Structure 1
Amino acid sequence: MNIREYRSFFLEKLSAVYDAAEAESLFYICLENLKRWKKIDLAMNSNAELTRIELIKWNEVLTELEEQRPIQYIFENAHFYGLEFFVNESTLIPRPETEELVEWIINENKNKKDIKILDIGTGSGCIAITLAKNLPNAKVFAIDVSKDALATAKRNAIRNTADVTFIEKDILTTESLPESFDVIVSNPPYVRNLEKHEIKKNVLAFEPHLALFVDDNDPLLFYRKIAQLAKASLPKEGKLYFEINQYLGPETVTMLEENFYDDVVLKKDIYDNDRMVAATIK
């Protein structure tokens, strides 16, 4: 079978699970990872025959995609803010919405010198590492409760030559942060169990629930705890940034104001959902 014929076969097999555009995108990701080809290579070599070993590899990946396993986990690779990250089932897959949060932090802090930043619940390390790469005057720290996630984050720091200090810590049982910070950021678990029906299978079945879900009865549990810890750690004019549940924007703003934060700003993401908040210590 040549590569052009296999492409038709691949798209047909995935048509029951993905829409046409997504299936096409998945094919080209596979093409790049399995053959190291770009679109132009396919156009110029569409009659190239796949070897028996290549067919086996392509079919293995196709089977995993039919089961809706995320392609980032299949190839253990994800792109975030121009960097590449190793990912596995111990970490969430970095998302475009989180890139917007990171860009907000970079834009507001790029002219500051000698600042200290803490990322709480770092996962793959994408936030901490990207900030370290883009804010060279910053000293960046990152916390996570998961040993496996921290191992992944450390691997990504080496991969991207980023200087980040990683700390294993359960933020919910933490009484105080290890030192003062100028910026604290967190993308904590925020999906309520009642929202599980909205989650696609490729997320629900494969991504770590520890990093995703929070109890319906106290959905701001992590936000409230982090806000309280940050209040004692941030200096005057220090900033706290959160990625948030799109349905709980006003509630998150109110919680921060009740904890004596000022200049609370709620921002929407590219999909027009309430997605991030920043607040200042006065």
Structure 2
Amino acid sequence: MKRVEPQVRLISRPQLDYEAITDYLKEVGGESWLGRFDRGELDDHLNDPQNLAEFAGRLCYRSWEPGLNPNVTRVRTDQDAYLGNILSSLHGSVLEHVNFGFVLHNVSRVLTHELIRHRPGVAVSQESLRFVRLSDLPFWFPDWAQDDPELMERAEDMLQKMEEFQLWMADHFGLDDEGVKFAEKKHKTSFMRRFAPEGVATGLVWTANVRTLRHTLEARTAPGAEEEIRLLFHRIGETLRQEAPALFGDYTVEDGAWVPQWRKV
């Protein structure tokens, strides 16, 4: 048994093809928007998520410049102001084009059971304990639990016994013997996982679009949220605000709760 800490790593973000965007804008008369290339506002990969949201929004109203749409006589040229208007007007559909992918490591199955309740705009690939045989039981303890010596002694003793039972079963079933077929290993491994605690640490790739991320960030850092998922989404929120400040900069953090200025976008 080893103590672990939940970890968040951002592994994917939007990457735009600016040559294709240029071809499109020339065809529809949006060349003035291309001037932002010369000012260096569209060629930084860290801004691609924001650029994609802005591109999708402007396409909806043909608002690349005044006059292309006769109903549009003026346009916002500042990206922060433009995306702020997207949020305040609840035009959340354009945010669904912007996806971020995370590898969530050393998170419990307590957490993953709650996380998978958020389904729209999400993709999940989780470590399978039907295939992955447990040789140890990594476990996260919150600070308040670690401050209780008797609790920790009893908890670690119990986990140690559960871990030893996992190793005993593997030996008892002869899973490492020569010639054991993978189907048999999978069958017994699936049985063995039933004796692992729900708090055992695992991992998954979790990808979500910005519309979903905004809702989930608020819901899973709320004061009543489960403490591990609350800790995890605080770290996700910090990452997102750094990656796309114009899409997540309206949040204020109050006692760990991420509260947006614009809700239900």
Using the size of structure 1 for normalisation, the TM-score is 0.23
- Highest Rg: 1 or 2? 2
More helix by share: 2
More strand by share: 1
Using the size of structure 2 for normalisation, the TM-score is 0.24
Of structures 1 and 2, the one scoring higher in RCO (CA 8 A, sep 6+) is 2
